[in-house]
Structure 1
Amino acid sequence: MRFLRGSICIKNLENVSNVNEAKEAMLDAKPFLDKLELEWNDFGPNNNGEEILAGLRPHENLKELLMINYNGFLLPSWFSNPLCKLSSIYLQSCHHHHILTPLGKLRHLKSLIIEDMYSLSHIGPEFVGFPSLESLAIKDMPSLIYWSGFNGGFPCLTTLDINDCPRLRNLPSFMNTNLLRCLNISRCPEIRALPDDGLPVSLQALTISESNLIRDRCRIEEGEDWYKIRSIPKIEIDYVEISWEMRRF
């Protein structure tokens, strides 16, 4: 099985009893495996997720990782070292997980999707680094209230999607994201304003939908944040594109 290639999906991990049983998969001895999907049953027992995940350490050549219904609170150390080729991560329904620190250490990570992580209430300064990340999506976060900023990280970020965060009150500062081109905000009704320092001049497309407070602040001419967005080439608010003819300078 050392020469297994392509992708592999391991399901029902709640049935794995201990770390030694997890190690029997010998994922770290499969150098030709590009994509790994690890899935727990959402209704399974919740007592040893961290231990099992620690035993499922993949080979450093892995390029794509999907993790669904992980029931642990923390990520193992192998998330940051030595996965030097990992370029894509998708975390879905990791309901007990609330610390994102190790992810920013992945030097070649280009795409990160975090979805349905309902224990996460705050994204703080520890969510930093990401020297190669180009696309970030934060989706379906019912408890997320505050995002404190990028703090000098994300130098290569070009696309940011923030969707279905009903309690999120603010957007992070984009001061150092000089390559950001697309910003999409959807169904985030509590976001009150754009950042005080505005949006990066590199931004080419802004989409705001079903987010009433920030929508009102971005109304043509009348909104308090209109001056921050009026020069963006493509603006779409509540599924209506704001053409150049509709803008007055």
Structure 2
Amino acid sequence: MRGPNIVVSTLCNKCLKLGLRAFNGKKMVCSAECFPKLDSLTLLGLFYLEEWKVDEGAMPTLRHLEIENCRKLKMLPDGLRFITTLRYLKIERMPMAFQDKLVEGGEDFYKVQHVPSIILPTVYLSYDP
């Protein structure tokens, strides 16, 4: 991943949780060499993140992805469709417009249609701080 606060993409992490203020950039990029052994990734409360790019070949062993309360993130990265090992995707406390893109027939469903378990909550309470 490239960004102002993260230069850890070549570490041999199996599990990575980026929580509150762990990343303060607007754009996060996972290059093709990014996290070759990563099994689980959680993005939690990355309030400034607007765009996430995943190159083909990045995170080739990722099985578990959770995104929670990253309210400015506009969409899932197109590169997720190349991560065929992904088995579990949970989207929580995200705007309904973001979630609606991921259901069958949504404009981003093609990115995650290969994921057997997709968890989207049915209730979202929106507020502007």
TM-score with structure 1 length normalisation? Answer: 0.40
Any stretches of 5+ residues in structure 2 without a counterpart? 124-129
Mapped to 2, the partners of 1:227 and 1:126 lie a distance apart of: 22
Mapped to 2, the partners of 1:183 and 1:162 lie a distance apart of: 8
Identity percentage of aligned residues: 25
Matches within 5 A, 1:5-154: 98-101=4-7, 103-106=8-11, 108-117=12-21, 119-125=24-30, 128-154=33-59
Describe the SS at the equivalent of 1:138. strand
Aligned to 1:224: 106
1:232–1:127 Cα change, 3 Å = closer
Aligned to 1:174: 80
Match of 2:97 among 208, 213, 216: 213
Whichever residue aligns with residue 216 of structure 1, its letter is D
Q: CA deviation at 1:215?
A: 3.4
Q: Which has the higher contact order (CA 8 A, sep 6+)?
A: 2
Mapped to 1, the partners of 2:17 and 2:108 lie a distance apart of: 29
Q: Deviations over 1:67-116 (max 9, x none)?
A: xxxxxxxxxxxxxxxxxxxxxxxxxxxxxx83323x1111x310111101
Describe the SS at the equivalent of 1:214. helix
Aligned to 1:11: none
Query: CA RMSD, aligned part only?
Result: 3.0
Mapped to 1, the partners of 2:33 and 2:121 lie a distance apart of: 31
Mapped to 1, the partners of 2:50 and 2:108 lie a distance apart of: 24
Mapped to 1, the partners of 2:26 and 2:59 lie a distance apart of: 21
